[in-house]
Amino acid sequence: MDYTPHTEEEIRAMLERVGAESLQDLFAHLPREVVNPEIRLPEPMPEWAVLEELSRLARENLPAHKAFLGGGVRSHHVPPVVQALALRGEFLTAYTPYQPEVSQGVLQATFEYQTMIAELTGLEVANASMYDGATALAEGVLLALRETGRMGVLVSQGVHPEYREVLQAYLEAVGAELRTLPLEGGRTPVPPVEEGVGAVVAQNPNFLGALEDLRPLAEAAHRAGALFVAVADPLSLALLKPPGALGADIAVGDGQVLGLPMGFGGPHFGYLATKKAFVRQLPGRLVSETVDVDGRRGFLLTLQAREQYIRRAKARSNITTNAQLTALMGAMYLAALGPEGLREVALKGVAQAHRLRSLLLELPGVSPFTPEPFFNEFVLRLPRDPQEVRRALAERGLHAATPVPGEYGERLALFAATELHEEEDLLALRDALAEVLA
Amino acid sequence: MDIPKDRFYTKTHEWALPEGDTVLVGITDYAQDALGDVVYVELPEVGRQVEKGEAIAVVESVKTASDIYAPVAGEVVEVNLALEKTPELINQDPYGEGWIFRLRPRDMAHLDELLDAQGYQTALEGEV
């Protein structure tokens, strides 16, 4: 079998139809160098020489290990046990465990993941994961709209702007209406919630890193008969009161901070947790524990009758698969650290971020933007264009100063610190920024 | 298969029992048997206006989730709240305690367009 997509005969027929003499004629309006680019490849090399060349090129990359970037992807330590376990064939190959008799291990691991997410969020039930934080938010909001039978959504400007874009795309498709609630002084004001709003959404810590008071927002939502959806960094939940305890009906977020490498921005996993009362509105898959006829403990997929492969167009969501492997990596990370370990990781990140902020505020022209208290990310106003600053820092070997979208203000940059950053790293960034701004 | 003669039927296995100016609606013995153990029922909202054939409730069994269609156009005036706690009533007593909702038809004469017990029996035989 050959892989030629079109036969000579088909090409001739197509040319005839459009009135072109030849393929060259057809592409005549395109620049010559684009149509037939000259590809300059080196002479063939032995495999070992290719590998050597590739590692030489790789060494030219900036190490991203201790990046100060935040805003959705952060550099954290990934304990080697996570990678080692995740690469085991049992986890790596079991795609969708529809066959409980052969997938008990994967089902149990998924059940453990769901349990940990439920515990972290203070809610009763979590699904087997979503693709990432943004899709988890969209699915969480759709859940709230189904439950309330309303079509209005009120979202805080403190929710990650990219998450809001994804949400907008999902909501447009179902004809729901999204309204953004502007931040006041870096925080979400308690809004009047009009009739017809089915979901109120806020993020804590918010996009600027500031801690929000979720309880009054949840109360305002509930008074109007809407559900409250909280977006939360799961690592922050090691220290903060869980969204469930603050009145959230639905909690969503991104799991990258739980043991996933930065990996050029993917793959991540999203978590979605809610109350048991809404379990039939939950999209995606849910693993439950049961006993077999002999009373032995076992695990199975439940509420599948709502899933896409059974109910097709009437399914709760078009998400039919999930981020099984990366979600399990999150569970492995949480299990490896334990509640105390997670707390230590979170605490050190908070301490280093606060230290970094005071160091950077020593520099002339740098002013605070994120109100206190904040978590492990914060925004500063710089005296220069943040894009230029980020580039100049990269030239000095540092990944820092994520430019913040203009909707929040001018010349704003986001910084983050984690458990990886030691005092010398913080001082190095301050010195480099001092040079760049000088 | 039990098919009472006092009511009307749809080809989609709903029954409709006239009571004054309303009709009680549920699913047939055949339907409950085909579904298996019913574990959840999603009831319509009282006051909802429905068209004939519109999906207005969902009966979920361990195997599947099936839509329940309005046998005639009208307004939902009552729902069987007992099903929220004990959905198995549909299996135990599909023509009695397992009723699902009560409709006030826009026109009672529309019921005549439905099947009678004999017609439903024939339809079932065609299906088997």
In tens, the pLDDT along A318-354 reads: 666 678 899 999 999 999 999 999 999 999 999 999 9
| Cβ neighbours of A136 (radius 10 Å) | 33
Q: Chain B closest CA to A304's CA: distance in Å?
A: 8
Q: What local confidence, expressed as pLDDT, does residue A94 receive?
A: 57
pLDDT by residue (tens digit) across A359-416?
Answer: 999 999 999 999 999 999 999 999 999 999 999 999 999 999 999 999 999 999 999 9
β-partners of residue A271 are A253
A→B interface, C-beta within 8 Å:
149, 280, 305-306, 310-311, 314
**Contact residues, B window 31-50, toward A, CB-based 8 Å cutoff:** 40, 42, 45
Q: Which of B103, B109, B110, B115 is nearest to B28 (CA)?
A: B115
pLDDT by residue (tens digit) across A102-115?
Answer: 688 889 999 999 99
- pLDDT reading at B32 higher than 60: yes
Nearest residue of B to residue A303, measured between CA atoms: B62
Contact of A370 with A358, CB cutoff 8 Å: no
Its sign, for the CA torsion A350, A354, A359, A364, is positive
| Cβ neighbours of B37 (radius 10 Å) | 13
Q: Which residues of chain B lie closer than 8 angstroms to A308, CB-CB? A: none
| Cβ neighbours of A322 (radius 10 Å) | 21
**CA–CA gap between residue B54 and residue B128 (Å, rounded):** 25
Q: What local confidence, expressed as pLDDT, does residue A300 receive?
A: 87
Q: What local confidence, expressed as pLDDT, does residue A414 receive?
A: 98
Q: Chain A closest CA to B31's CA: distance in Å?
A: 17
Q: Phi and psi (nearest 5°) for A105?
A: -65, -45
Q: Please tell me what DSSP assigns to residue A221.
A: H
Q: What local confidence, expressed as pLDDT, does residue A92 receive?
A: 85
β-partners of residue B41 are B59
Q: Which of B49, B3, B20 is nearest to B111 (CA)?
A: B20
Predicted TM-score of the model (pTM): 0.84
* Residue A86 in tokens: 């995740």
Report the largest interatomic distance among the alpha carbons of chain B, rounded to a whole angstrom: 37
Going from the C-alpha of B99 to that of each of B10, B31, B124, the distances in angstroms are 15, 13, 21
- pLDDT reading at A301 higher than 90: no
Mutation to test the B interface, candidates A147, A150, A280, A307, most B Cβ within 10 Å? A280
Nearest residue of A to residue B42, measured between CA atoms: A280
**Is the CB of B64 less than 8 angstroms away from the CB of A280?**
no
Nearest residue of A to residue B41, measured between CA atoms: A280
Q: Which residues of chain A lie closer than 8 angstroms to B62, CB-CB? A: 305
- pLDDT reading at A1 higher than 60: no
**CA–CA gap between residue A301 and residue A309 (Å, rounded):** 13
Q: Chain A closest CA to B80's CA: distance in Å?
A: 19
pLDDT by residue (tens digit) across A185-211?
Answer: 999 999 999 999 999 999 999 999 999
**Is the CB of B62 less than 8 angstroms away from the CB of A305?**
yes
Q: Which residues of chain B lie closer than 8 angstroms to A149, CB-CB? A: 45
Q: What local confidence, expressed as pLDDT, does residue A284 receive?
A: 85
Percent of chain A with pLDDT over 90: 78
Partner A contacted by B67 (CB < 8 A): yes
Contact of A202 with A250, CB cutoff 8 Å: no
Mutation to test the B interface, candidates A304, A307, A312, A316, most B Cβ within 10 Å? A304
Greater pLDDT, A264 or A422: A422
Q: What local confidence, expressed as pLDDT, does residue A367 receive?
A: 98
**Is the CB of A305 less than 8 angstroms away from the CB of B63?**
yes
Angle A394-A398-A403 from CA coordinates, rounded to 5°: 65
Buried b (16+ CB within 10 A) or exposed e, B41-78: bbbbeeebebebeeebbbbbbeeebbebbbbbbbebee
ipTM over 0.85: no
* Residue A166 in tokens: 């994804």
pLDDT by residue (tens digit) across A217-274?
Answer: 999 999 999 999 999 999 999 999 999 999 999 999 999 999 999 988 889 999 999 9
Nearest residue of A to residue B62, measured between CA atoms: A305
**CA–CA gap between residue A27 and residue A29 (Å, rounded):** 6
- 3-state secondary structure at position A149: coil
- pLDDT reading at B104 higher than 90: yes
| Cβ neighbours of A434 (radius 10 Å) | 15
Label residue A351 exposed, middle or buried (CB < 10 Å: 0-12, 13-18, 19+): middle
Q: What local confidence, expressed as pLDDT, does residue A101 receive?
A: 67
Full DSSP string of B66-105: EEEE-SSSEEEEEE-THHHH-TTHHHH-TTTTT--EEEEE
Q: Phi and psi (nearest 5°) for A81?
A: -60, -30
- pLDDT reading at A305 higher than 80: no
Mean per-residue pLDDT, A111-126: 97
Interface size, chain A vs chain B, as Cβ–Cβ contacts under 8 Å: 18
Going from the C-alpha of A255 to that of each of A88, A92, A234, A263, B79, the distances in angstroms are 20, 18, 7, 13, 42
Beta carbons within 8 Å of A417's beta carbon, 6+ residues apart: A68, A349, A352, A353, A355, A356, A376, A426
Full DSSP string of A343-383: HHHHHHHHHHHHHHHHHHTTSTT-EE-SPSSB-SEEEEE-S
Mutation to test the A interface, candidates B35, B38, B43, B64, most A Cβ within 10 Å? B64
**CA–CA gap between residue A407 and residue A409 (Å, rounded):** 6
